[in-house]
Structure 1
Amino acid sequence: MNLTGKVVAINISSTKGVVKKPIEEGVFIEEFGLENDAHAGKWHRQVSLLAKESIDKMNNLGAKNLTYGNFAENITTEGIVLFELPVGTRLEIGETVQEVTQIGKECHKGCQIKKLVGDCVMPREGIFTRVIKGGRIKPGDKIIVL
């Protein structure tokens, strides 16, 4: 298993259940998540991550031009098979340290992504973390499995 990867994009939205828009840099707050993001809060799914490889897979299956943030992920990664990381795994991402709290999720009814695309990889391949140590993350930053 590859123990290093990189951040491809940081994505944010002010409402839940919609695609997120890429930003130049994210400020991640300890025990809260991405500043100004709809999913941040004092719970176990503060930050969502999805691999570029998963997005590419959807595009290869015939989805139309999916890009970073389309699956409402906060961090788009490359080089690590996220859904193979056990819950409890700690990741150093940019200046932050995050802990994997959940692999995949139930897709809620009326998911915009599923309507748009016909399928959603997030329930199978997305992961969630909580922020153990806050800091800044930007595209190009390294991801290290601790």
Structure 2
Amino acid sequence: MKSYIVSLNISEKRGTRKNEVSNVILKENWGIIGDAHAGNWHRQVSMLSTKSIEKIDKEKLKTLSYGDFAANIIVKDVIIHTLPIGTKVKINDAELEITQIGKACEKDNLVRRLTGKCITPEEGVFLKVLKGGRINVGDEIIFYAEEKI
């Protein structure tokens, strides 16, 4: 399955709005260089689909940017939260793997405060970086299951 990146977002501090950027560098077993959520753990990068964002009230959407949804990568039209854990993601030379689907929504969640819904915790996915590389807004994304022999 294929898609493309519509937005890349990073923040220097957790619990704050992410800033939109045109490209990022993914570091193997770390995440996005310069993002507060990077580290040696299973939730190095977060991803959300425009299909999830479209569920927000249209009037509220007018005042929000992609960075307000607290996801590092926003992809076009793929319902990513239905993909199984272990799904591989290829973007240019970089490779990632889905490690978690959704998470608990804290009471004071930034996305909930801004949108009225906990869309990112409910429908976002988390990934670890298997192979690093530079990725850009507009780059093609390929989602695939690694076949077991």
Structure-2-length-normalised TM-score: 0.90
Residue 55 (structure 1) aligned with residue 41 (structure 2)? no
Q: What is the match of residue 141 of structure 1?
A: 139
Alpha-carbon distance in structure 2 between the residues aligned to 1:52 and 1:59 = 13
Letter in 1 for 2:74: T
Structure 2 unaligned runs (5+)? Answer: 145-149
Secondary structure of the structure 2 residue equivalent to 1:143: strand
* CA distance, structure 1, for counterparts of residue 54 and residue 92 of structure 2: 24
SS at match of 2:55: helix
Following TM superposition, the consecutive aligned residue runs of length 4 or more in structure 1 with deviations greater than 3 angstroms are: none
Give the C-alpha shift of residue 108 in structure 1.
Answer: 2.1
Deviations 1:95-127 (A, max 9, x none): 310000000111123112211221121122100
Q: Report percent identity of matched pairs.
A: 42
Deviation at 1:71, TM superposition (A): 1.3
- In 2: Cα distance, 1:26 partner to 1:73 partner: 13
Provide the alpha-carbon RMSD of the alignment: 1.3
Tell me the alpha carbon deviations over residues 56-75 of structure 1, each in whole angstroms, 9 at most, x when there is no partner.
22143x52423211111000
Q: Which residue of 2 aligns with 1:78?
A: 76
One-letter identity of the residue aligned with 1:120 = C
User: Mean alpha-carbon deviation: is it higher for 37-46 or for 73-82?
Assistant: 73-82
CA–CA distance in structure 2, aligned partners of residues 88 and 30 of structure 1: 16
Matched-pair contact (CA < 8 Å) for 1:20–1:70: yes
Q: Distance in 2 between matches of 1:17 and 1:97?
A: 26
CA distance, structure 1, for counterparts of residue 52 and residue 79 of structure 2: 9
Distance 2:73 2:61 in 1: 21
Alignment match, 1:96: 94
Is the 2:111–2:119 Cα contact (8 Å) retained in structure 1? no
Find the counterpart in structure 2 of residue 10 from structure 1: 8
Encode CA deviations 1:32-85: one digit per residue, 9 max, x unaligned: 00001000000000000001121122143x524232111110001013210011
Query: Does structure 2 retain, via aligned residues, the 8 Å contact 1:87–1:100?
Result: yes
Please give the TM-score of this superposition, normalised by the length of structure 1.
0.92
Q: What is the aligned counterpart of 1:69 among 63, 67, 81?
A: 67
Contact 1:28/1:135 (8 A) holds in 2: yes
Unpaired stretches in structure 1, ≥5 consecutive residues: none
